[in-house]
Structures are given as C-alpha cells and as structure tokens.
C-alpha cells in the first residue's frame, strides 16, 4: 500500500515530494522485509527492456530488489506494487528514467582492458590518413573510458596540429553524464593509472567542506576539451553526423539479448568509415551474431567490404 496520508491526495508523481517531516516520521516502514514477486519482477524487466534494451533475465531478482529499495525509501512508498503504479502514473516519465538509471551497472575504471588502448596506439592511429580523428565511446559510464582514450591520443599526438581529435562519449544515465562532465575522480579511482599519467593529466581539487572525503583530482582542461559528452539511449535514434574511425562499445552489449545485439552492431556498421574499427568487451563476442565485420583479434573487429556476410554460428547442445 502507499502511505495512508497520501490516499486523500491526488495521485501524481508530485505527491511524495510534498510530504512533511512529521508525516514521514509517523509511518515507519520495514523496507528490508519487502518482497518482490515474480510478477512484479517481470513487469519491471519488461519496462526496462522497452526503454533501454537491457535484458534483466531470471536470476537478477535480488539485484533489482536491492537497487529499487533505495527508490522506495526516497519516495516513501511502502511496497513494489505501488512503486510500479507510481511509475505508470508519472506523466513526466522522470521516474522510469531514474529506475533504468539505478538498474544500470556502471562499473568501469581507467585503462580497463588495456589491449584495446594498445591497439588504438599501435595500429589504428598510425594507419589513419591525415585529417580529423573521430572516436565514439558508447556506454561511457562516468567517463573513465573516453578520458583514457584521450590520454592515449595525447601521448602519441602531442604536437600533431594536423589532427583534429574529437571523442564523442555517450551514456543512458543522466547521473553518469554529470559525473563524466565534471571529470573529478577520487584517489582510489586513479589507482589503475600509471603515476606519471596521473601527475600529467590530473590536478588535485580542494573542497572546503567540514568532511574529509579524501583526495580528489580533476581532468586537465586540455583533456576535457577533446571529449564531448551527450546523453544517448542506444535504442533510440542517433543524431550524430559523419563517420567514426573507431567505436568503443565495451561491456555494454552483454546486457542485451541476441536480437538487440545484432541490431546494435549493424547500426554501428553504418556509423563507421570504411576500414573503421569496433571494440567490444572481452566478455562479449560477435561469434554467434550475424554481421559483416572482419575479426582481427579478441574483441576487435574491422569494417571492410565483405566478400560474404558472416553468419551466426549455431549453438551446439550436447545430446541433441
């Protein structure tokens, strides 16, 4: 049930924002005892899939429950059934976007899966013709990936005025986009970076607060200027114009089902120049998908004029 004092009010997304502190204190809720039924989980999964393409398959129930309990506590809604009603009645659609946001995994770090960055440095950039360099970081989370790419490019093209470097970084999450634009990271986050790169590309930020949050560092302006951040749902229309030399979409497609994956890699093909490269996560593969890319090495594919379309390999089941 929704809290009793809200029953007399008009049901709307705003109602929970108007509660007084005294009202909140009068109705204690034991959130930890709440149950997420299979029907509720299926409904949440369906909504998330429709919005983002993310496949919350069986086995994700506890993850969904744990993350959405934070929303229930914040909104002072007493159970999942009425939370779903709240989402449906929210004409602004703000809460369904927030729901997708909190259910999205944003784990990342600087120089994650460095083999791709080595490939960028050793193969892609040296092989590019004279002119602009355009790279897309799709599903960039809090910005570590595009800034890692920018660092690599700065290291190998420090004085190359003939290059116009543009890195587009997109993500579904408003929260992650804001953090990425700020470009501020704590000391723990920077541990995966070599010390000399941290000193070269980050500056310590001092926050005058009454609490010690540890050391934090901001990306230098020269690096930030190379990256343009924009919110983008990969399931919607893509407004970008022009073609990319490389697309990094790593550890994103693992959350999609096969039809969504095939649709996505096909769309990436249309946004790559001839000879452009697609990088996926090492836990991902195009092996069982139909596509036109040429396999180069684990998780690295190239757009070439295909002699024949690569067809998905059949999945073999033992005993059948």
Q: pLDDT by residue (tens digit) across 90-139?
A: 989 899 989 988 888 777 899 999 999 999 999 999 998 888 899 999 99
Residue 58 is assigned to a structural domain of this protein: yes
* Torsion angle of C-alpha atoms 15, 16, 22, 23, degrees rounded to 10: 70
Number of folded domains in the chain?
2
Is residue 67 among the annotated active site residues?
yes
Residue 215 is assigned to a structural domain of this protein: no
Same domain, 87 and 138: no
**Mean predicted confidence (pLDDT) in 244-251:** 96
Confidence check: pLDDT of 22 > 60: no
Confidence check: pLDDT of 81 > 70: yes
Confidence check: pLDDT of 14 > 60: no
Confidence check: pLDDT of 191 > 60: yes
Six-digit token pair at 91?
Answer: 């004409």
Same domain, 154 and 59: no
What is the per-residue pLDDT for 181?
Answer: 96
Same domain, 137 and 229: yes
With 0-12 / 13-18 / 19 or more C-beta atoms within 10 angstroms meaning exposed / middle / buried, residue 158 is exposed
User: 100-114, 241-255, 302-316 — which one is most confidently predicted on average?
Assistant: 241-255
Residue 108 is assigned to a structural domain of this protein: no
Same domain, 170 and 21: no
**DSSP states along 192-247:** GS-HHHHHHHEEEE---SSS----EEEE-HHHHTTEEEEE--TTS-----S-EEEE
Six-digit token pair at 49?
Answer: 């899939």
Confidence check: pLDDT of 247 > 90: yes
Six-digit token pair at 193?
Answer: 């970076």
pTM higher than 0.75: yes
**Pairing mode of beta strands 294-297, 272-280:** unpaired
CATH of the domain at 41: 1.10.155.10
Angstrom distance (rounded) from CA 223 to CA 242:
22
The string of pLDDT tens digits covering residues 139-150 is: 999 999 999 999
Output 110 or 16, whichever has higher pLDDT.
110
First to last CA, the chain: 49
Cβ distance 133 to 164 under 8 Å?
yes
Residue 155 is assigned to a structural domain of this protein: yes
* Domain end (from 69, 102, 135): 102
Same domain, 54 and 127: no
Angstrom distance (rounded) from CA 35 to CA 56:
18
Same domain, 164 and 79: no
What is the per-residue pLDDT for 207?
Answer: 64
Confidence check: pLDDT of 10 > 50: no
Confidence check: pLDDT of 289 > 60: yes
Residue 256 is assigned to a structural domain of this protein: yes
Least confident of 29-38, 88-97, 194-203, 229-238: 29-38
Least confident of 2-6, 17-21, 55-59, 82-86: 2-6
Among 67, 175, 218, 302, the one annotated catalytic: 67
What is the per-residue pLDDT for 27?
Answer: 55
Among 79, 101, 171, 245, the one annotated catalytic: 171
Same domain, 295 and 162: yes
Residue % of the chain over a pLDDT of 90: 59
Determine what percent of the chain falls in helix, strand and coil, rounding each to the nearest 5. Answer: 40, 20, 40
**Tokens 């007399």 appear where?**
8
Residue 157 is assigned to a structural domain of this protein: yes
Confidence check: pLDDT of 256 > 50: yes
Angstrom distance (rounded) from CA 157 to CA 167:
14
Angstrom distance (rounded) from CA 135 to CA 247:
6
What is the per-residue pLDDT for 8?
Answer: 37
Confidence check: pLDDT of 16 > 70: no
Angstrom distance (rounded) from CA 316 to CA 320:
8
Confidence check: pLDDT of 182 > 90: yes
Same domain, 34 and 172: no
Same domain, 231 and 290: yes
Orientation of helix 174-182 relative to helix 94-102, angle to 10°: 70
Closest CA to 61 of 81, 40, 77: 40
- Sorted by sequence, the CB contacts under 8 Å of residue 2 that are 6+ apart come out as 77, 78, 82, 85, 86
Orientation of helix 61-75 relative to helix 94-102, angle to 10°: 140
Confidence check: pLDDT of 273 > 60: yes
Residue 60 is assigned to a structural domain of this protein: yes
Domain boundaries, position 35: 4-102
The length of the chain in residues reads: 320
The per-residue b/e assignment along 298-316, b for 16 or more CB within 10 angstroms, e otherwise, is: ebbbbbeeeeeebeeeeee
């Amino acid at each position: 049930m929704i809290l009793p004092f809200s029953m007399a009010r008009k049901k709307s997304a705003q109602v929970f924002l108007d509660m007084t502190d005294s009202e909140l204190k009068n109705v204690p809720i034991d959130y930890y005892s709440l149950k997420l039924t299979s029907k509720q989980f299926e409904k949440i999964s369906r909504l998330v899939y429709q919005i983002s393409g993310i496949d919350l398959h069986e086995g994700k129930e506890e993850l969904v429950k744990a993350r959405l309990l934070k929303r229930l506590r914040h909104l002072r809604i007493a159970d999942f059934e009425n939370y779903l009603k709240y989402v449906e009645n929210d004409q602004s659609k703000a809460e369904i976007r927030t729901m997708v946001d909190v259910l999205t995994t944003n784990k990342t770090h600087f120089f994650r899966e460095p083999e791709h960055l080595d490939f960028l440095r050793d193969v892609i950039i040296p092989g590019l013709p004279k002119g602009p360099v355009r790279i897309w970081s799709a599903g960039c989370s809090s910005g570590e990936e595009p800034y890692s790419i920018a660092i690599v490019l700065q290291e190998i093209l420090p004085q190359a005025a003939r290059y116009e470097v543009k890195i587009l970084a997109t993500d579904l999450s408003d929260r992650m986009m804001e953090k990425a634009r700020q470009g501020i990271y704590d000391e723990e986050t920077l541990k995966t970076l070599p010390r000399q790169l941290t000193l070269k590309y980050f500056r310590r930020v001092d926050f005058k607060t009454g609490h010690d949050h540890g050391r934090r560092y901001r990306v230098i302006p020269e690096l930030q200027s190379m990256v343009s951040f924009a919110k983008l749902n990969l399931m919607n229309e893509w407004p970008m114009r022009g073609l990319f030399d490389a697309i990094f979409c790593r550890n994103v497609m693992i959350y999609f089902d096969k039809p969504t994956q095939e649709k996505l890699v096909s769309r990436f093909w249309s946004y790559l120049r001839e000879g452009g490269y697609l990088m996926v996560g090492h836990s991902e593969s195009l092996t069982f998908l139909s596509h036109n890319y040429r396999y180069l090495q684990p998780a690295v594919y190239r757009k070439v004029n295909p002699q024949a379309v690569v067809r998905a390999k059949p999945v073999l089941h033992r005993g059948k």
